[in-house]
Amino acid sequence: MDYSDLSTLGIAFGLGLLVGLQRQRTDNKMAGVRTFTLIAILGVLSAFLTRDFENPYILPVLGLSLTGLLIVANIIKLKKFEDADVGQTTEVAALLMFAIGAYLVLGNQVIGIIVGGLMAVLLYAKEHLHDFIENLMEKDLAAIMTFAGISLIILPILPNQTYGPYDVLNPHNIWLMVVLIVGISVVGYFIYKFLGKKAGIISNGVLGGLISSTATTVSYAKKTKNAKNVDLIAAFIITTASAIALVRIMFEVGVVIPEKLNFIALPLIFELVCMALLCVGLFYLINKENNDDKMPEPDNPAQFKSALVFGLLYGFILLAVAFTKEKFGNEGLYIVAIISGLTDVDAITLSISNLMKGDGLATTTGWRLILLASLSNLFFKGIMAAVLGTKKMMKWIGIAFGISIVIGLLIMWLWPENWHF
């Protein structure tokens, strides 16, 4: 007996029950838990027959027969009920369930299970999806469409080969990093849209770090001059966003060079823990009775102009890193990290990560350059907060950022080479 076939039948039975349960809870008259389970098993048995009898026509014939049954059922429903609701969701789900059952036998079972599970979740989330779509604003749609254009239209047509001096400018790889950064910002933006006014000061800081810690600094620094008793809250949210930016950096490193993340993450995590402790201290100093914790509405994070500027900046930093390393060695890269980190720590992080990926830079030097760039970015945000915010807020920002920068520099100087995961 082939127990793998029994396992396949069991998986199809479970997926059919899962999807059918959701359909039956919606009072669907076309198909419920029993019908979807039978359709999944029919798909598996059709594939078994196709495989065992080596007949490629069995599966499509049974699939077309199922389609015919669904059409006949809709015709009967139209004749029997005057206000019959003939949709397409259940019918498409039934055909997809049949295909999943067949694919569990003839294809990759993991993919079949994932597709079946995602289908059940998608059907269950119908009302939530409809509410979300109805609440989308024009700039939300613009963010979705722009990100789709950046990732699905522009990226595939760019050449995947290097050009220019130092052989480091690969249009496809550069734009892939643009897609990564914009994607992170878009995810943070729509998490904010989902939470809305329910987001408290902690989640404001976290979301601010996901979307843009620099934009969060500007927004809350300005807010302190237009509202009372928000100086400490603003300092807390800005510091939290800057701490989350370190998590964002580690995620970017993990995407580009996952095999070296264990050598890079520990010193960055140490800096993150220190900043998190500062955030905890600021949180307990906040006067909760005067808490105005609404996060300023973020701008569209997927503007094409911003994506293009980041791509150009990233390409320029790739050239600067390659030039500096050849002319001045690794020591010159510290100057590049400081200057580029002032405006955008993502670009230098990705550039250094790609350099480490090709073994062109030691990981012990690479993580120090990334940490230095993040400290440079902290210094720049501190200056912005001082210019745009109140003196009281600047006092707390100065304390938090000052301690963070000092600790970061000490980590770069004193960190033992053998300390890693």
Q: 146 in a domain, yes or no? A: yes
Phi, psi of 159 (to 5 degrees): -70, 140
Residues 6 or more apart whose Cβ sits within 8 Å of residue 352: 321, 333, 337, 361, 366, 369, 370, 373
* Global pTM value: 0.75
What pLDDT is attached to residue 289? Answer: 47
Q: Do residues 141 and 122 share a domain? A: no
Same domain, 254 and 115: no
Give the domain range for residue 18: 3-131
Residue 297 has a pLDDT of 61
Count of domains for the chain: 2
Distance of CA 253 to the CA centre of its chain: 14
Q: Which residues of the chain have pLDDT under 50?
A: 289
Residue 368 lies in a domain: yes
78 and 146 housed in the same domain:
no
Asked if 178 and 292 sit in the same domain, the reply is yes
User: Which residues, other chains included, contact 411 with Cβ-Cβ below 8 Å and sequence gap of 6+?
Assistant: 267, 270, 271, 371
* Within-domain flag for 421: no
Q: Name the domain boundary from 131, 152, 179.
A: 131
Note whether residue 210 is domain-resident: yes
Specify whether 191 is located in the same domain as 241. yes
In a domain, 420, yes or no: no
∠ CA 17-74-121, rounded to 5°: 30
- Domain boundary residue among 131, 158, 191? 131
- 84 lies in a domain? yes
Q: Are residues 353 and 330 in the same domain?
A: yes
Q: Do 156 and 84 share a structural domain?
A: no
* Residue 403 domain-assigned (yes or no): yes
**For 70-109, how does the pLDDT look when each residue is reduced to its tens digit (9 = 90+)?**
888 777 777 776 665 556 777 888 899 999 999 999 988 8
Q: Are residues 252 and 376 in the same domain?
A: yes
End-to-end CA distance of the chain: 46
Q: Considering only CA atoms, which of 98, 28, 33, 34 is closest in space to residue 67?
A: 98
Last residue of a domain, one of 98, 131, 164: 131
pLDDT in tens, 267-321: 999 999 999 999 999 888 875 545 555 555 666 667 788 888 888 989 989 899 8
Question: Does residue 154 lie within any of the structural domains?
Answer: yes
